[in-house]
């Protein structure tokens, strides 16, 4: 299975990534048990299929250790040069409060050690409480660590446009913001995408396949109860569907997507991914991977084969136009995470 060349993009001039990133929240334990050995084997299968870019976080259970183990095995089996073909993006999600250089450096050191790297490719910073301005201190120290070579590029996750603007105005160079962005949640279109376009900042998106809800598996199905939704991801995005317009409207969306998908001989998930890949400022879509448990590599590859036309967009927009406005309801990107 070879991915077409359009699959890759320059996140920055010196960092080339696969536009479909493998998300590792799914190994955290909140989505079912993961077997370590099977998981690492599966990482090779993703990598060899062209899915070379990983999204993880300090708090996604063993995710950073998996990258460390994957890299060790890669170096042992294929030589250290092979390591250059892996991109691994982690996050730092600290509790709010005072930030010193020592606190910041110590946390980065832990990620470096766990992942077995000298430099983090991309460090995505999260902050819970905008009432506590220490996020700017943290970012200044992170920028120092970047300038010293411990971090290649500094990025954010779940920041809203107002605070991204404050950071940019402080002269702190940010290359990307990771946000929820899907056919259900189009809040980034209000302010975030235009801001990112104007400031050369890229978006990495999650929730784009709604934990799997945006697929044939839920088409024509009765509304699932919480007990049926077996992963944290499905439960999270079912709540989003409820806020957006409810199960009835979601079924209308799935039907419209199925129509479009059949025309292109691809899947509903492919259309959901393609739609977001085509949005302004979007560099990549992160799709969660339950390593060693379930995989959709071949299907997801087909997202790169589809070109949505005006008729497809008309059909999709006809349904989206009936939904509630999540920006009005929840706020800007990441506002659901503020404490």
Ligand X SMILES: NC(=O)c1ccc[n+]([C@@H]2O[C@H](COP(=O)([O-])OP(=O)(O)OC[C@H]3O[C@@H](n4cnc5c(N)ncnc54)[C@H](OP(=O)(O)O)[C@@H]3O)[C@@H](O)[C@H]2O)c1
Sequence-ordered list of residues with C-beta below 8 angstroms from that of 149, at least 6 positions apart, any chain: 118, 119
The closest residue (CB) to ligand X is 23
Joined together, the tokens standing for residue 133 give: 């301005």
Nearest to 21 by CA among 330, 275, 303: 303
Q: Which residues of 134-163 are buried (b: 16+ CB within 10 A; e: fewer)?
A: bbebbbebbbebbeeebbbbbbbbbbbbeb
Q: How many helices (H) and strands (E) does the chain have?
A: 12, 10
Query: Bridge-partner residues for 120, per DSSP?
Result: 151
> Per-residue x/- mask for ligand X, residues 203 to 242, rule CB under 6 A?
---xxxxxxx--x-----------------x---------
Task: Write each residue from 270 to 289 as x if it is in contact with ligand X (CB under 6 A), else as -, in one continuous string.
Answer: ----------------xxx-
Q: Does 75 contact ligand X by CB under 6 A? A: no
Question: In the numeric block, which tokens belong to residue 80?
Answer: 């250290």
Longest Cα pair distance anywhere in the chain, in angstroms?
56
Closest distance to ligand X from the beta carbon of 10 (Å): 21
61 sits near ligand X (criterion: CB under 6 A): no
The dihedrals phi and psi of 20, each to the nearest 5 degrees, come to -110, 110
Does position 26 interact with ligand X (CB under 6 A)? The reply is: yes
Nearest CA among 170, 103, 90, 168 for reference residue 141: 103
Q: How far is the CB of 79 from ligand X (least distance, A)?
A: 28
Q: Which of 107, 267, 301, 323 binds ligand X (CB under 6 A)?
A: 267
CA atoms of 277 and 280, how far apart (whole Å): 8
Q: How far is the CB of 294 from ligand X (least distance, A)?
A: 4
Q: Determine, following the binding rule CB under 6 A, whether residue 111 of this chain makes contact with ligand X.
A: no
Ramachandran angles phi, psi of 211, nearest 5° = 70, 5
By CB under 6 A, residue 157 contacts ligand X: yes
Judged by CB under 6 A, does residue 90 bind ligand X? no
- The answer to whether 269 contacts ligand X (rule: CB under 6 A) is yes
In the complex, minimum distance from the CB of residue 306 to ligand X, in angstroms, rounded to a whole number: 12
Query: Could you say whether residue 185 binds ligand X (CB under 6 A)?
Result: no
Name which of 157 and 193 has its Cβ closer to ligand X: 157
Contact 90, 56 (CB under 8 A): yes
Residues of this chain that interact with ligand X (CB under 6 A) are 23-26, 55, 157-158, 178, 206-212, 215, 233, 267, 269, 286-288, 290, 294, 296, 299-300
């Amino acid at each position: 299975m070879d991915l077409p060349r359009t699959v890759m993009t320059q996140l920055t001039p010196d960092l080339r990534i696969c536009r479909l990133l493998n998300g590792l929240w799914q190994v955290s334990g909140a989505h079912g048990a993961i077997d370590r050995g099977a998981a690492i084997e599966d990482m090779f299968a993703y990598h060899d299929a062209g899915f070379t870019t990983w999204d993880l976080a300090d708090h996604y259970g063993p995710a950073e250790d998996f990258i460390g183990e994957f890299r060790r095995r890669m170096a042992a089996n294929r030589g250290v040069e092979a390591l250059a073909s892996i991109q691994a993006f982690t996050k730092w999600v600290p509790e709010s409060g005072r930030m010193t250089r020592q606190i910041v450096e110590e946390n980065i050191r832990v990620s470096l050690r766990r992942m077995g790297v000298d430099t983090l490719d991309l460090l995505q910073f999260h902050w819970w409480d905008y009432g506590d301005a220490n996020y700017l201190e943290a970012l200044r120290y992170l920028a120092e660590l970047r300038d010293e070579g411990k971090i290649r590029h500094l990025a954010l996750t779940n920041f809203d446009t107002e605070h991204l603007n404050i950071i940019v105005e402080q002269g702190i160079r940010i290359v990307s913001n990771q946000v929820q962005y899907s056919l259900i949640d189009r809040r980034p279109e209000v302010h975030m995408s235009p801001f990112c376009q104007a400031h050369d900042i890229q978006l990495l998106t999650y929730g784009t396949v709604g934990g799997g809800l945006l697929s044939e598996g839920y088409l024509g199905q009765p509304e699932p109860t919480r007990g049926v939704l077996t992963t944290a991801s499905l439960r999270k995005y079912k709540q989003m569907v409820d806020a957006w317009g409810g199960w009835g409207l979601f079924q209308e969306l799935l039907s419209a997507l199925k129509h479009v998908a059949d025309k292109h001989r691809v899947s509903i998930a492919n259309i959901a991914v393609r739609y977001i890949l085509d949005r302004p400022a979007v560099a990549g879509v992160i799709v969660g991977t339950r390593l060693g448990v379930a995989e959709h590599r071949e299907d997801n590859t087909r997202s790169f084969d589809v070109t949505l036309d005006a008729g497809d967009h008309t059909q999709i927009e006809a349904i989206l136009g009936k939904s509630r406005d999540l920006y009005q309801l929840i706020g800007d990107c990441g506002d659901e995470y503020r404490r």
